[in-house]
Amino acid sequence: MEVIAPLPDYAHRARRNVVVLILAQAILGAQMPMIFIIGGLAGQTLAPNPCWATLPISMIVLGSMITATPMSALMQRFGRRAGFWCGAGGGAVGAAIGALGLYHASFAIFLIGSLVTGIYMSAQGFYRFAAADTASESFRPKAISWVMAGGLISAIIGPQLVKATADAMAVTFLGTYLTVMMLNIVGAGLFLFLDIPRPRRPEVGAPKGRSRREMLADPTIRVAIICAMVSYALMNLVMTSTPLAVVGCGFQKAHAADVVSAHVLAMFVPSFFTGHLIVRFGAPKIVGAGLTILAAAGAVALSGVALEQFYLALILLGLGWNFGFIGATTLLASAYAPEEKGRIQGINDLFVFGGVTVASVASGTLMNCSGTSVIAGWNAVNIAMLPFLVLAGASLIWLSLRPKP
């Protein structure tokens, strides 16, 4: 009879942290599909110019970009738990300000709330890095992938909460923002169970690692950041416009919620096996597959505006993001030393969310102001994907053709 050896303590710790982060991704993460479903629709009712409809989503991403580097430094000094609590607090305060903006029909107040919500989005971006902190080298891709899979639950919870709360109060979407506030307050308690040691202060003479300039000169790091930025930005570009396109083509808000729900499910369901695929085939090949699927999503979206075409395009968009972004994250995690992670993770998310900010601003402009109809705007959004897919694909090919050190 074969005896199975018990897992060592560090392996138990890694798995416990993964479970906590999966639950955080599921509960706290539910606010992101909620906000992305209603942000553009609420903005369209409050904004003085329809071209600014997606500006609230852009402000969330801008807030995330601004706080990415400080959040990384905070976690490097005080630990992951402190950073994640700060993120949940930002999510709660941002939702409260957004609710106030809706109540007073003030677009300016609503935008301030969106900007503060970006603090949560920034912190959520570090869940995947936290999963790798206590994981062994062989477990790391699976840990990152499984934590991302927690978004599967948020993809189910978030849109259903939108359906239940969007018209629950006299002011449309006010109940949704109050629900987001409560999700942050309740979900913050999960981090009491997180067991990631606070980083030690470097001893005198300890290696300090490379400077930011030196790390950005590393070909692997450079390509990982480009591919992560393109994967996330293009996903956001199309997803942000989707509710406007679905409703603009004559379908209901509930249809828009269902399409986004299918998209978010496609973003996270593959995470159950993405880590295994990366271990078997390598991160660069999985990133390449993700970029190819993103191109297929754009092709489907350009083929028509029937409801089933919205569904298929957004499902492919989610799958392409999963392969591209998780693959790029794993590629990045393999290219830095422990003493360098506080610097490079913040730089990575600064570039990623900077790209997403530009994409979300461009999304509303392309959708509402680049053509004479909803269909023309939707086509413009999807055509805009092409040059960035070429950039990311070319950088990946360049990396694969370089002589291996």
Q: Which of 17-26, 192-201, 235-244 has the lowest mean pLDDT?
A: 192-201
What percent of the chain is modeled with pLDDT above 70? 95
Q: Which of the pair, 233 or 340, is modelled with greater confidence?
A: 233
Tokens of 25: 């991704």
Q: Does the 9-196+211-401 domain belong in CATH 1.20.1250.20?
A: yes
Angle formed at CA 391 by CA 390 and CA 393, multiple of 5 degrees: 65
Model pLDDT for residues 359-381, shown as the tens digit of each residue = 888 888 888 887 778 899 999 99
Instruction: Look at residue 9 in the predicted model and tell me its pLDDT.
Output: 54
- Domain boundary assignment for the chain: 9-196+211-401
Q: How far apart are CA 300 and CA 272, in angstroms?
A: 25
Convert the pLDDT of each residue in 117-126 to its tens digit: 999 988 988 8
pLDDT class of 69 with cuts at 50, 70, 90: confident
- Assess whether pLDDT exceeds 80 at residue 225: yes
pTM > 0.85: yes or no: no
Say yes or no to pLDDT of 133 above 50.
Answer: yes
Question: Can you spell out the DSSP letters for 320-357?
Answer: HHHHHHHHHHHHHHTSS-GGGHHHHHHHHHHHHHHHHH
Query: Is residue 172 classed exposed, middle or buried when 0-12, 13-18 and 19+ CB atoms within 10 A define those classes?
Result: middle
Q: Read out DSSP for 76-132? A: HHH-HHHHHHHHHHHHHHHHHHHHHHHHTT-HHHHHHHHHHHHHHHHHHTTHHHHHH
